[in-house]
A and B are shown apart, each in its own frame.
Chain A
Amino acid sequence: MITATNLSKVYNGTKVLDIDHLEIPQGQNFGLVGNNGAGKTTFFSLLLDLIRPTSGNIFNQDITVNESEDWKTFTASFIDESFLIGYLTAEEYFYFVGELRNQNRADIDSFLMQFEEFFNGEIIGRKKYLRDLSKGNQKKVGIVAALIGEPKVVILDEPFANLDPTTQIRLKKIIKDLSEISGTTVLVSSHDLIHVTEVCERIVVLNKGIIVKDIKTSEATLKELETYFSGEQIPEEVKLSEEEQTEEPKVDNPE
C-alpha cells in the first residue's frame, strides 16, 4: 500500500504538488491523469525519492521513502529514457537489472520469453546499444525491465507514449494482468484518456498539483474525463479559481 500525507512540493514559491491524503491499496491499478505541469511526474519522483518533498511524507508499504532505502527491493519503475543505460544492449540491460533483483541469467531468459510478442523481434538479439534504438523500442525495454523480479509496486510514467498501436494494445494486457494475476500495484500516468480508462481501476486527475477528481473507473468514466478536459474546461476553470479563492484562507489559517 502506498500512502501520501500532506505531501507538497514547492519550486521557487510555486506549489507544483499539494496532496492532503492519497491512499493506493495493494494490487490496485492506479491511473494518474492531467495536463502538462499537473504534477504527475513530480508525484512519481517523490514516490521514488528522486526529489525531496517540501512537506509531508510518502509511505511505500509503511516505509518512509526518504528515510530508508528498503522500498527499493520491491519497487520498480520506468520514468523516461534516463532510466536506461545507453551503452548497454537490451539483453545486457535486462541482465544488469536482473542481477540487482537477484535473478540469474536463466531466470531473465525465461522471463523474457513471455514478452517475445511484445518485443516484436525488435529488441532481443539486435546487437545495438540502447542509445541507438528508436524511442518506442527504448520504451519497451524500460517497461519490461521494470517488471523484472516480480516487484510489488510498478511505476510507469507515460508508458503508452511513443509506442505503436499493436504494442499499446499488448501493453494494456500486460498491465491489467499484473494487478489481476500477481497482485502488483501498478501506477500509470498518461495523456491518453482511452488507454488509462481501459487499464486502470481507479483514476486520479491532477490539476496544478491538486487532486481534482478521484474516480473508480466505470462505463461513464471516459465521458466524464473527456468532459473535464475538453470545452467544458472553461466553467471548470471558473470553478477552480473559485475553489482556490475559498481555499486560500484555509491554507493561510494553519500557518
Chain B
Amino acid sequence: MVGKLLSLEWKSFTRSASFGKSLGLKIFMIFIGAYFAVMFLFMGIGLYPILKDVYPDKDPLLKLNEFILAWLAFELIFRFFMQSLPVVQIKPLLLQNIKKHKVINFVLLKSLFSFYNILPILIYVPFAIVVTVRSNHSAVSMIAWAVSVLFFSFSVNYFNFLIKKKFAEDLKSFLPAIIFILALAGLEYFDVFPVSEKFGVFLNYVLEMPYLAILPVILSVLFFVWVRNTLKNKFYLDAGLKTKQKEVKSQEFEWLKRFGDVATFLQLDMKLIWRNKRPKSTVFLSFFFLLYGLLFFTNSVYEGMPVMFVFAGIFITGIFMINFGQFVPSWDAAYYQMIMSQNIPMRKYLASKAALISFSIVILTILSTPYAYFGWNILLIIFTCALYNLGVNVPLLMFTGSFNKKRIDLEKSPFMNYQGTGAAQWLVAIPLLAVPLGVFYLCYKVFSFNIGLLAIGVLGLIGIFLRNYLMDRITIQYKKNKYAMIHGYKQTGD
C-alpha cells in the first residue's frame, strides 16, 4: 500500500504543473535544488571552522547549541511561508479502500522527505562529523546530538502543520502560543533571560548523556500524533479539505471608463490582477523591485559603468512589463476559447493588454522619480529607459506572447513557479535587455554617455510612432497561432 502511495507521490511530483514539462525547465529546477543542497552541505562542513574563528576561546559546538532555538524559530517561520501540507491531494483517496489513518500517516511521514527536511540533515550531519573528527567529543555524543537537533527540526515540521491546520481557521486559539513565543523572543532580545542559551544547555546535557536524545524523538512523535488526530477530525469534505470561500465585493474600476473602447478589457484585467494570487503577487513584486535601483545607484562600484544604470532603468520601469507581459495572453488561458469566440476583435484585445503594460511603465516611472536624489543623470536614464520600454519592449513582449501555449493557474503562488514558462520566456530576455544595453554601450564607448542615451531614446520613439503598424503585424501573428494557442491552453495537466 505504501509503495502504491509512494508511486502516486512520485508521479504527482514529476508531473506537477509548476515543475513544467520541458526538459530544460526540469534541468533548471534540478540545478536550483542541487545548488541549495550543496550550499547547505558546505555550510555544514564549514560551520565548525567559522565558529572557531568567531569565538576562538569557546567550544564551537557549545556555542552553536546556544543558537539552536533561534534557528528553530527561524525555521518555523520559513516553513510556515514556504511549506504546505498537501491535504487537498487526499480527496481522491477518500472513497477508496484505504484506511483513513493510513493515508494520514502516509501524508505526514511523507513530509519528512520533503526538501525542507533534507536541508537540515545536510547541515547537521556533516557538522557532527567534523566535530567528531576535530574535537574531543565522542562519536556517540555527536550521534545523539545530531539525532536531537534533527528531531527538533522534525518537531518544527509537524508543529508548522499544526499551526496551519488547527489554527488556520481560528486564529484566536493560536493567540496564546503567539504571545508565548513573542514573550520568549522578547526575553531573549532584551537580555532579560537567555532563552536560547538555556535551551542550548539541554543539548550540552545530550553530549554528556547521549540517551537524552530520546526526548526530542518523543517530542516529534507527540507532535506527530497531535497533527494526526487533528487531521483525522478534518478528514471530511466540508472541514479540512475545503478551500475557503469569501464573500466577494464587486469593484468596477469605473475610472477606467475614460480609456474608451479598451476600457472593458482593462477592467477585466484589473479584476484578473486583484482577484488572483499569481498576478497579484506579480504586482507586489513589481513595487518591491522598485527598490532594486538602490543596489546600483548607491554602489560606487558601478559609478564608471553607466551601462549598469541602463540595466537598472530598464528593469525598474519594466518589471511589471517583464513579469506580467511575458505571460500575455496565458493569463487568460482558462477562458481563452471564450475570448476567441466572443465578439472581441483580436486587435482590440491586444491593444488593451499593451495599454495595461504601458500604463504600468508610466506608473513605475513616476514612482521612481525619487531616484533623482542620486543625480539628474539617473533620472534621465530612467526616463529614457521607460521610453525604450514603451516603444520597443512592449510590442516585443506582445509579439513573443503569441508563442505562449502554456496554461497558467491563476491561483498558484508565483514563487518558484515555472508553470507557463517555455522557451519564449527565456529567449525574449535577450532582445529585451541585451539590445538596449548593447546599443547604449556601443554608443557610449564610441561617442559619449549622452549619445548612448539618445540612441535608446530614439529607438523608443520610433517604436512608439510605429506602434499601430507593429500591433497590426502582431495581430496577424496571433491569428496565425490561434489554434495552437487554444489547443495548448486546454492542456490543464501541464
Contact = CB atoms under 8 A, between A and B. Distances in A.
Contact of B344 (A79, A85, A100): A100
Given A89-B250, A100-B344, A129-B248, A82 B334 contact: yes
B280 to A, nearest CB: 11
Contact of B342 (A89, A97, A129, A132): A97
Nearest to A100: B343
Contacts of B342: 72, 76, 97, 100
B487 A51 contact: yes
A48 B482 CA distance: 12
B249 A92 contact: no
Interface in B60-97: none
B335 A83 contact: yes
Interface of B (DSSP majority class)? helix
B186 interface: no
A222 interface: no
Nearest to A80: B337
A83 B335 CA distance: 5
A50 B341 contact: yes
Contacts of B264: 96, 99-100
Contacts of B369: none
Interface in B323-350: 334-338, 340-346
Nearest to B345: A69
A128 to B, nearest CB: 6
A129 B483 CA distance: 28
A213 to B, nearest CB: 28
A69 B346 contact: yes
A208 interface: no
Residue with the highest number of chain A CB atoms closer than 10 Å, among B334, B337, B341: B341
A72 B338 contact: no
Given A52-B483, A72-B344, A84 B271 contact: no
A86 interface: yes
B478 to A, nearest CB: 12
Contact of B341 (A75, A96, A128, A149): A75
Contacts, number: 79
A87 B410 contact: yes
A68 to B, nearest CB: 11
B283 to A, nearest CB: 15
B248 A128 contact: yes
B268 A96 contact: yes
Interface string A34-78: 000000000000001111100000000000000001001101110
Interface string B446-486: 00000000000000000000000000000000000011001
A127 interface: yes
Nearest to B340: A50
A57 to B, nearest CB: 15
Contacts of A89: 248, 250
Given A75-B341, A100-B342, A100-B343, A82 B483 contact: no
A112 interface: no
B275 interface: yes
A18 interface: no
B170 interface: no
B238 interface: no
A101 interface: yes
B490 interface: yes
A29 to B, nearest CB: 21
A87 B344 contact: no
A19 interface: no
B247 A82 contact: no
A100 B486 CA distance: 20
B486 A132 contact: no
A91 interface: yes
Contacts of B338: 82-85
B343 A88 contact: no
B129 interface: no
Contacts of A97: 342
Contacts of B343: 72-73, 100-101, 149
Nearest to A48: B341
A89 B483 CA distance: 28
B486 A84 contact: no
Nearest to A91: B250
Contacts of B482: 49
Contacts of B487: 51
B486 to A, nearest CB: 5
A51 B245 contact: no
A128 B340 CA distance: 25
B241 interface: no
Nearest to A105: B252
B341 A72 contact: yes
Interface in B208-224: none
A85 B248 contact: no
Residue with the highest number of chain A CB atoms closer than 10 Å, among B249, B272, B275: B275
B271 A92 contact: yes
A153 to B, nearest CB: 11
Contacts of A96: 264, 267-268
A48 B344 CA distance: 13
10 contacts: A50-B340, A50-B483, A69-B346, A72-B343, A76-B342, A85-B335, A88-B271, A99-B264, A127-B249, A132-B245
Given A49-B341, A86-B335, A87-B272, 18 more contacts: A48-B341, A49-B340, A50-B483, A51-B483, A72-B342, A77-B341, A83-B338, A84-B335, A85-B338, A86-B334, A87-B276, A99-B264, A100-B343, A127-B249, A128-B245, A128-B247, A129-B248, A149-B343
Interface of B: 245, 247-250, 264, 267-268, 271-272, 275-276, 334-338, 340-346, 410, 482-483, 486-487, 490
Per CB-CB distance, the 6 closest pairs between chain A and chain B, nearest first, are A83-B338, A87-B275, A48-B341, A99-B264, A72-B343, A127-B247
